[in-house]
Amino acid sequence: MDEASKPTSDAAAQTQWEISAEIGAIGADYGQQLARGAAPEIQPRVDYPPYRSSVLRHPTKSLHHADPETIELFSPAFGHHDVNVLESDLTIQHNGEPQGERIRVQGRVLDGNGRPVAGQLVEIWQANAAGRYIHKRDQHPAPIDPNFTGVGRCITGADGSYAFTTIKPGAYPWKNHLNAWRPAHIHFSLFGTDFTQRIVTQMYFPGDQLFPLDPIYQSIVDQDARDRLVAVYDHEVTSPEWSLGYNWDIVLTGSKRTWTENEALGAEGDDHE
């Protein structure tokens, strides 16, 4: 093979251990910052080199400020009657039962003062039990489940509560580096009251062994902020002979807010990562 035809180095050639070393170094540096009295970072770093594509996607210019009232002229409108209560059950969208571990995920949407956020459109999307998205860009060799699409939505109640019945998603590989796997997660979108308020985030499951290895999860360098993305197993939410239960509250503002992807900052949005 002559020099010109050799494959050029690319990010996917890097091993998990090289990525983990980078994650470790950034984490140690953050620990020193905290020890020197720096404020905790509660949002993800948009330029987080172990998450390879973040380096190319993060903004280099200040954000464009939109006029919220102008945006309102173009934003979609929906009413409570537009969202059927059955849309919160992802296990009944086809003729048969999907494969996998049936779960209920419930919680409350709260503002920074702990007040419930009622009437909020909550949308979720996720991989199936085998870690495969229905999305055509997901071509890794895990089976598609004909009885599982992986999308659902609901509107929060007067107490800010939401609940979904679904299947526990599987971990899946992605192309960040060699042998890169995402921890099991469910993508969440909260619409707010207008387009400019929409936020997107991910919910994880407790005890996942992939947490320390995942550059997306680790791009939130603060452990407390990361912990707020992890649901809590709740035996009171578990139904006998039916489903396991998890609780996960979403806090929209304040120092305890849930980490969210800022689409304007070019972080992961509707991508299936």
**Active-site annotation holds for 172:** yes
Q: Which of 48, 162, 172, 204 is catalytic?
A: 172
Distance CA 237, CA 146 (A): 27
Among residues 48, 52, 104, 133, the one annotated as catalytic is 133
Burial pattern 133-150, b for ≥16 Cβ within 10 A else e, equals bbeeebeeebeebebbbb
| 118, 129 Cβ separation under 8 angstroms | no
- Kindly give the pairing relationship between strand 244-247 and strand 102-110: parallel
226 is catalytic: no
Q: Are 232 and 205 in contact (CB under 8 A)?
A: no
Q: 177 and 11 in contact (C-beta within 8 Å)?
A: yes
Tell me which of 132, 177, 187, 257 is the catalytic residue: 187
Alpha-carbon distances of 255 from 11, 102, 149, 259, 263, rounded to whole Å: 34, 33, 35, 10, 20
For the question of residue 162 being annotated catalytic, the response is: no
CA angle 201, 250, 263 (to 5 degrees): 25
**Contact between residue 124 and residue 107 where contact means Cβ atoms under 8 Å apart:** no
End-to-end CA distance of the chain: 35
Alpha helices in the chain (DSSP H): 16-35, 52-57, 68-72, 215-218, 223-227
Quick one: CA torsion of 215, 219, 221, 225, rounded to 10 degrees?
-110
Catalytic residue among 52, 108, 132, 182: 182
Catalytic residue among 52, 185, 228, 272: 185
233 in active site: no
Residue 135 among the catalytic residues: no
Reference 226, options 201, 246, 247; nearest CA is 201
Which positions are annotated as active-site residues?
133, 172, 182, 185, 187
